[in-house]
Structure formats: C-alpha cells, structure tokens
Amino acid sequence: MIRRVVTSVTAGGQWGIEGYVLDDLDTSATITEGVDDDPIDVFGGVHIYARPAAGDRAEAVMLHVGGKADHPVLAALRNEDARARYVTEFEDLSAGEVVIFNSAGDARVKIKADGEIEITAAAGQKILLKMKAGATEPAVLKSEHVGHTHGPGTFANSGGSVTGISGGAAAITGSAVVELE
C-alpha cells in the first residue's frame, strides 16, 4: 500500500506524520490513521540527510514494506514550502541543474548543467571551509583583495620565507585558487 502523507515533528532519521485519511473499502466510511503513530524511518537519497523546518508541511510517500501496515517507511520526500521560498529568493532550476538548499531557501550549493558550482550564503553569513581535523576558515573573497600588493621585504609562508617584491596573485605559483563573488 502506498500513501501520500504530511510530516510533522522530525528527529534524527525518523519523521512523524500528521496522519492520513483513507476510505474503508468494506464500509465506505472514511478512516483517519497514523495521527499518534511512532516516528517512521526515512529512506531519502543516498548520502543526503535533511530535516524540514518546524512548521513546514513537508510531504512524503509512505510505503508499507511487504504490504504490512505495521512496517511503514517514508520515501520520495519533498518540502514544497521550502522549494517555494528558494524559487522566490533565487529562481527555478534550469534543465540539468541540481541544488541543495536550506529550509529558509536563502543559502544554496548549485551545480549547473555545464558543471560550474555556485555557493551562496544567506545575507550576512560567511562561507566557511572546514577541514576534517576541525579547523574552520572563512572563504576569502577575491574582490576583497583586488589590487592588494606587498612592498619589498621578506615574507614568511609555510614553505619558508620569500624575499622580493610581490607581483600580485598571478606571481604565486602552485597555489589553489578559489574564486568567490
């Protein structure tokens, strides 16, 4: 049996449901089920873990494994409230694009059809790069350093010291550059 349900409280990998209405085929009566049921396991995409914001009416398709009513799982998840906020803040996706965004719809990681990746932080927030060892550094915007130079002198870096005159970012070889705008 497959049912479309609205989710409620979420915790970890389980979501509660607000209940669902179905018709009893034997009596033609309408039955409401699932209102006070225990939270249900969510089978989302592989390596994707998300929880809807409180108050959003996220939806899911509820499946009963083996056709047994006592073993429901949620799959095919969507949060139309969050998607609508995203489209209002940005725009709808073009063909071939993928986006991961927060419930507020104001921060995203977008992979464009041509392979370009855009990262957008919410207004007033930073884009942080976190290393597995725990160090967190904010991404540095290229626009903050355009025209930035150093005068003659000795500069220390992780590979030792360098003496001379800075030639700007183009003079630095072997460095990975992340361009953020």
Q: CB-side exposure of 175: number of CA atoms within 13 Å?
A: 12
Question: Would you say 166 and 150 are in contact if contact means Cβ atoms under 8 Å apart?
Answer: yes
In this prediction, the residues of the chain whose per-residue pLDDT falls under 70 are 1-4, 9, 12, 19-24, 34, 46-47, 69, 150-181
Query: So where are the chain's domains?
Result: 2-78, 80-125, 139-181
Locate 128 and state its tokens: 């942080």
Kindly state the helix (H) or strand (E) to which residue 122 belongs, with its residue range. Answer: none
- Asked if the 2-78 domain carries CATH number 1.10.10, the reply is no
The predicted structure's pLDDT at residue 171: 45
**DSSP helix/strand/coil, 170:** helix
pLDDT at 88: 93
What's phi and psi for 10, nearest 5 deg?
Answer: -125, 150
d(CA 84, CA 92): 9
Q: In degrees rounded to 5, what are phi and psi of residue 163?
A: -115, 135
CA atoms within 13 A on the CB side of 113: 4
Q: Give the pLDDT of residue 154.
A: 62
